[in-house]
Each structure stands twice: as C-alpha cells, then as structure tokens.
C-alpha cells in the first residue's frame, strides 16, 4: 500500500517537531496562562531548562508546585514567573487562586 506512505511521513515529522520543541536542553520554554488554562498543561523538558509562565489573562493567577518546589507570587496581567528545573522528576502545579487550574512539568533524566 504505497498510498499510505505520505501520511505516515507527515505524522512522523510532526511528532519529531513537537518532541524537539519540548525537549530542547538548556533553553527556555514558555507556559502561557489564558482563560484559566495553563498551556501546554503537560510539558516534558530536559534538566537545566527554564520554564517561564506568562499570565495572559486579565485576572491574577499564581503558580504553585504541589510539594512546594516552587511558588510564584500572584501574577497580574503580563506578569512572568520563571523556574529552572535542574533535577529529573514530575512536578505537578496548580493556581493557588483557582485550584482547579493544574499543570505538570516532567523533567527527563539527564543524557550525560
């Protein structure tokens, strides 16, 4: 079935592109807060990556890790909060002002 090959190729390169964005080492990744939602809500990064949350909503939000690994102040519109993840693991977080807002950062074990 040669006709399925182009679709498989597109799907594979799309997957590769997504993976590269999410796992770039030693760089910065942005999580936007918009309409009471963290985006992306589920993010996988390499150790050493700095994640910056940006509040695009017109009401305050705060980013708090479940086990207190990090905690932002209340972020007004356009305020930012950054945290550098140096250790592998899973970090679940929520908005302390709206606890139904949740997200997760997964830090992969280092390649070295």
Sign of CA dihedral 97, 29, 49, 40: positive
Cβ proximity to Cu ion: between 23 and 96 the closer is 96
Q: Which residues pair with 90 in a beta bridge?
A: 106
What residues does 3 pair with on adjacent strands? none
Q: Which of residues 28-67 bind Cu ion (CB under 5 A)?
A: 61
Site for Cu ion in 68-97 (CB under 5 A): 95, 97
Considering the complex, what minimum distance in angstroms separates the CB of residue 61 from Cu ion?
3
- Is residue 108 involved in binding Cu ion (CB under 5 A)? no
Nearer Cβ to Cu ion (23/37): 37
| 88/46 Cα distance (integer angstroms) | 8
């Amino acid at each position: 079935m040669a006709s399925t090959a182009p679709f498989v190729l597109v799907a594979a390169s799309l997957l590769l592109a997504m993976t590269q964005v999410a796992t770039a080492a030693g760089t910065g990744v942005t999580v936007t807060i918009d309409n009471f939602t963290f985006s992306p809500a589920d993010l996988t990064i390499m150790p050493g990556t700095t994640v910056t949350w940006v509040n695009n909503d017109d009401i305050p939000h705060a980013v708090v890790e479940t086990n207190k690994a990090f905690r932002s102040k209340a972020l007004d519109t356009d305020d930012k909060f950054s945290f550098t993840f140096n250790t592998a693991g899973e970090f679940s977080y929520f908005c302390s002002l709206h606890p139904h807002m949740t997200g997760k950062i997964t830090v992969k074990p280092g390649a070295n």
